[in-house]
């Protein structure tokens, strides 16, 4: 598969999936966040995180919401590299998280890294079948 096998309309739909994921995360919508995955989707990351299926992913993200506390997070995705076709694609992308500290009203870059995502077309549109979250610099590079 090459990147030219992905239609522009599918590229935009996949980019919209990334946006819905980030908005749900940043707005504290665990159910909507989990729904960006297939029913058997897998969320992995940071060497120890693994959640499979909507319920497990929803519970996992609630843990991140709890860790965030009253601070505000804003996820940004960039530099998308897509390979695949109109049914399935692999997407490598960078992410960064901006944070507003509630206690001081200061802003900072909280973290940055990359996603390795496998996206599939479903009857409900594009969804994540697999998503690996890694901080940068990570112990392994995204293309290794």
Per-residue pLDDT tens digits of the chain, which is 144 residues long: 455 689 999 999 999 999 999 999 999 999 999 999 999 999 999 889 999 999 999 999 999 999 999 999 999 999 999 999 999 999 999 999 999 999 999 999 999 999 999 999 999 999 999 999 998 875 666 655
pLDDT for res 3: 54
pLDDT for res 137: 73
Q: What angle do CA 10, 79, 91 make, to 5 degrees?
A: 45
Q: Dig out the tokens for 112 from the structure.
A: 């940055």
Q: Dig out the tokens for 69 from the structure.
A: 């506390």
pTM listed for this prediction: 0.90
pLDDT for res 32: 98
The top-level CATH class assigned to 3-135 is alpha beta
pLDDT for res 136: 81
- What residues contact residue 98 under an 8 Å CB cut-off, 6+ apart? 73, 74, 76, 107, 108, 109, 110
Question: What DSSP assignment string belongs to 71-134?
Answer: -EEEEEEEEEEEEE-SSEEEEEEEEEEEEE-TTT--EEEEEEEEEEEEEEEETTEEEEEEEEEE
Q: Are 25 and 73 in contact (CB under 8 A)?
A: yes
pLDDT for res 5: 87
């Amino acid at each position: 598969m090459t990147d030219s096998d992905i239609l522009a309309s599918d590229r935009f739909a996949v980019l919209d999936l990334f946006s819905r994921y980030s908005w749900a995360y940043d707005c504290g919508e665990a159910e909507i966040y989990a729904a960006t995955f297939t029913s058997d989707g897998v969320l992995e990351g940071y060497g120890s995180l693994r959640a499979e299926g909507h319920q497990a992913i929803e519970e996992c993200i609630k843990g991140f919401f709890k860790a965030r506390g009253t601070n505000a997070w804003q996820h940004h995705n960039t530099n998308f590299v897509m390979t695949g076709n109109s049914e399935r694609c692999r997407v490598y992308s960078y992410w960064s998280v901006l944070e507003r500290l509630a206690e001081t009203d200061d802003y900072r870059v909280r973290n940055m890294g990359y996603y390795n995502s496998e996206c599939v077309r479903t009857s409900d549109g594009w969804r994540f079948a697999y998503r690996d979250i890694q901080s940068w610099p990570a112990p392994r590079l995204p293309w290794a």
